[in-house]
Every structure is written in structure tokens, then in C-alpha cells.
């Protein structure tokens, strides 16, 4: 999980922690201002860039997630294995990853199956692992995907939709153009302990579920809350053990920040204020 700290708020992998007037980015009309967008991009570039190059971070990910690759999400190997088995990609298939980060997931899917991949993200191109000719990268805003010439069979998005201001149109478009379906991993956190917000935590009540429903996109869900909760605990134990290695690489600041985020995530689960789901969307057959 990644925390982007601004003067009066923080975003955990994109979910805004409200303070006073603050609201979540996703699902409301008052989208972030330009300054905040630039800051968020800058934060992601810095973290993803530095940690993608970090040997200590790869060791950490192997221990925590179960796969040796730099991941910036809340996917353990059970989720990743399920994704792979459920997609069952053929070499002729192309997978589009919305908010793909450094491209680790696409590269992994390609190594397993020989499928092709297209990643879209706002990160500068050099942060994307371009060593694999089967995977291409498009720098851009996923909410403008309709305007790009992108053809794919399957759409995935892992811990990235939180950043969208109005993802409905983009999701509708991908729904019509993903002949083998869509797989959206999404965690919902309640930063304020308000009883009336509890329904947000149900699979039918998250901001993503509301958007899918209001756009006529049918879905099924799988609850991965236990997996995410365990990831926080494992990450915290492992981060402390790797502290020295991160320090030697000059990445101590990132790791101290990550410890804070993971402590908050763990606390939210302990207080029953967090849930994680996979939203699985079958192809639109009409
Ligand atoms: C938490 S990271 C997840 C990265 C990747 N999906 C993974 O699993 O490792 C969120 C990603 O979303 C990207 N992102 C945020 N807003 C975006 C937008 N409007 N269009 C494209 N990418 C965006 C960020 O740059 C970041 O790489």
C-alpha cells in the first residue's frame, strides 16, 4: 500500500483519508485539484521508480506476496493465482492493465501464458519495465482510454481505480470492448468511524460497486479481505526485518512511510473498517 501525504489529507493506494471537509476522490464530483494530481503523480513516480530498482524490495515482496517482483498493490499469491486461472489467457490474447504501475503483473501473466499485454499509467515511460517485447506501455490517463487506439480481450485493474474521478464512462467502454471479461481488485476503507458509512464495506456497497451498478455493468465478487488483512501483518513483520537493507540502499524514508501506512491498514482491519474484493465482470454478450 502506498500513502500519499498532503498537508491535510492522505491517500492509501488512492483512497483519500478525509479530514474535516475532505472526501474520497472516487465517486464524488469534487475531484482533486491540479496541485494534488501533480503531487500524486510525483509521489508514485518516486516510489515506484526507486522501489522497482531495489533489491531489498524484491526480497521483501517475495517474502510477503509470494512472488519475486516489485508489486505496488495488495495482491498475495492466492489472488494472483486465481486471477491467472480465471483469465486462463491464451498466447493470442491481449490483456489491458489500467493503472499498471511498473508492469510487473503484465510481465508475470506473459511469462505464465505467452499472452500479450498493454499497460496504461501516468508514470513516465522509463519507470515501466520495457524489456519484454510482448508488453507495450501507453503513458496516459486511464479515464481517457476511449480516445486511445487500444484493442484488448481482457481488462484488469489492480488497486488503481481509486484515482479516477468519474470512472463510469471508462468502465462502460471497457465492458463493451473486453470480450473475455474484466477483473477489478478494489479495497474499500472507512477512515471515519461513522455508522452510516458501514454499508460502503459490503461488496454491493463500495464506491466501485455503486459505479458498476449505475452504469449497468453486472458483476460477481470474491471477498479477499482476509488476504489483505494478513498482508498487512506480514508486511509489517518483514519491513522491520529488512530495515537495515533498505537503509543501505538509501530507501529508509520510503520504508518508514510504508510502515506507517501498513500500521494504519492493519488498524482499519482490526476496527472492522476495511474490506477487499475482486469484482469479476463477465463479457458483454449483446
Ligand atoms: C497503487 S498503484 C498500483 C499499480 C499496479 N496496478 C500494481 O498492481 O502494482 C496505482 C497506480 O495507478 C496509477 N494511476 C493513478 N491514476 C491514474 C490515471 N488517471 N491513469 C492512469 N494511471 C493512473 C498510478 O500512477 C499508479 O501506478
pTM of the model: 0.89
Mean of pLDDT values over 191-197: 78
Q: How far is CA 112 from CA 4, 27, 93, 249, in A?
A: 33, 35, 13, 31
pLDDT band of 39, cuts 50, 70, 90 = low
CA dist 108 and 62 (Å) reads 13
CA dist 84 and 82 (Å) reads 5
Does residue 171 have a pLDDT over 60? Answer: yes
CA of 120 to the centre of ligand 1 (A): 8
- Domain residue extents for the chain: 3-281
Q: Which residue has the higher pLDDT, 41 or 204?
A: 204
Helices 55-65 & 225-241 angle (0-180, nearest 10):
140
CA of 170 to the centre of ligand 1 (A): 15
Best residue among 12, 101, 157 to mutate for probing ligand 1's pocket (most ligand atoms within 8 Å of CB) is 101
Q: Which residue has the higher pLDDT, 75 or 22?
A: 75
Q: Please tell me the residue having the least CA distance from ligand 1 atom 16.
A: 163
The pLDDT of residue 22 is 31
pLDDT tens column, 57-94: 999 999 999 999 999 999 999 999 999 999 999 999 99
SS3 66: coil
Best residue among 52, 119, 124, 160 to mutate for probing ligand 1's pocket (most ligand atoms within 8 Å of CB) is 160
The pLDDT of residue 23 is 32
Query: Which residue ranges have their beta carbon within 6 Å of ligand 1?
Result: 2, 13, 44, 48, 71-73, 99-101, 104-105, 120-123, 141-143, 158-160, 163-164
Does residue 12 have a pLDDT over 70? Answer: no
Q: Which residue has the higher pLDDT, 7 or 97?
A: 97
pLDDT band of 163, cuts 50, 70, 90 = very high
Ligand 1 atom with minimal separation from the 101 CA: 27
Q: Which residue has the higher pLDDT, 198 or 95?
A: 95
Mean of pLDDT values over 144-165: 94
What is the average pLDDT score of the chain? 87
CA of 286 to the centre of ligand 1 (A): 30
Catalogue the long-range contacts made by 107-112 (C-beta closer than 8 Å, 24 or more residues apart): 107/69, 107/132, 107/135, 108/67, 108/69, 108/80, 109/84, 110/134, 110/135, 112/84
Does residue 1 have a pLDDT over 70? Answer: no
Does residue 18 have a pLDDT over 80? Answer: no
The pLDDT of residue 149 is 83
Contact 142, 120 (CB under 8 A): yes
Does residue 99 have a pLDDT over 70? Answer: yes
Neighbours of 241 (CB within 10 A): 12
CA of 100 to the centre of ligand 1 (A): 6
Best residue among 57, 104, 121 to mutate for probing ligand 1's pocket (most ligand atoms within 8 Å of CB) is 121
The pLDDT of residue 14 is 40
Of 240, 246, 188, the C-alpha closest to 64 is 240
Q: Please tell me the residue having the least CA distance from ligand 1 atom 13.
A: 99
* CATH class, 3-281 region: alpha beta
Amino acid at each position: 500500500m502506498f500513502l500519499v501525504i498532503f498537508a491535510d489529507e492522505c491517500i492509501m493506494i488512492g483512497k483519500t483519508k478525509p479530514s474535516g471537509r475532505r472526501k474520497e476522490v472516487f465517486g464524488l464530483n469534487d475531484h482533486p485539484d491540479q496541485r494534488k494530481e501533480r503531487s500524486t503523480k510525483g509521489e508514485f513516480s518516486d516510489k515506484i521508480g526507486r522501489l522497482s530498482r531495489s533489491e531489498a524490495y524484491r526480497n521483501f515482496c517475495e517474502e510477503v506476496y509470494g512472488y519475486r517482483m516489485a508489486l505496488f498493490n495488495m495482491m498475495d499469491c492466492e489472488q494472483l493465482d486465481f486471477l491467472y486461472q480465471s483469465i486462463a489467457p491464451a498466447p493470442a490474447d491481449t490483456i489491458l492493465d489500467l493503472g499498471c504501475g511498473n508492469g510487473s503483473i503484465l510481465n508475470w501473466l506473459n511469462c505464465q501464458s505467452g499472452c500479450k499485454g498493454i499497460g496504461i499509467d501516468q508514470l513516465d515511460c522509463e519507470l515501466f519495465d520495457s524489456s519484454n517485447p510482448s508488453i507495450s506501455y501507453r503513458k496516459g490517463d486511464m479515464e481517457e482510454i476511449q480516445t486511445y487506439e487500444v484493442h484488448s480481450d481482457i481488462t484488469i485493474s489492480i488497486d488503481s481505480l481509486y484515482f479516477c474521478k468519474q470512472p463510469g464512462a471508462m468502465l462502460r467502454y471497457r465492458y463493451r470492448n473486453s470480450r473475455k471479461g474484466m477483473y477489478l481488485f478494489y479495497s474499500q476503507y472507512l477512515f471515519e468511524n461513522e455508522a452510516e458509512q458501514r454499508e460502503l464495506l459490503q461488496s454491493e456497497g463500495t464506491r466501485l460497486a455503486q459505479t458498476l451498478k449505475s452504469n449497468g455493468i453486472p458483476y460477481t465478487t470474491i471477498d479477499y479481505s482476509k488476504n489483505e488483512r494478513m498482508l498487512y501483518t506480514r508486511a509489517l513483520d518483514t519491513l522491520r526485518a529488512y530495515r537495515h537493507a533498505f537503509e543501505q540502499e538509501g530507501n529508509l524514508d520510503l520504508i518508514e512511510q510504508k510502515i506507517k501506512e501498513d500500521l494504519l491498514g492493519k488498524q482499519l482491519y482490526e476496527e472492522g473498517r476495511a474490506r477487499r474484493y475482486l469484482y469479476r465482470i463477465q463479457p458483454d454478450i449483446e
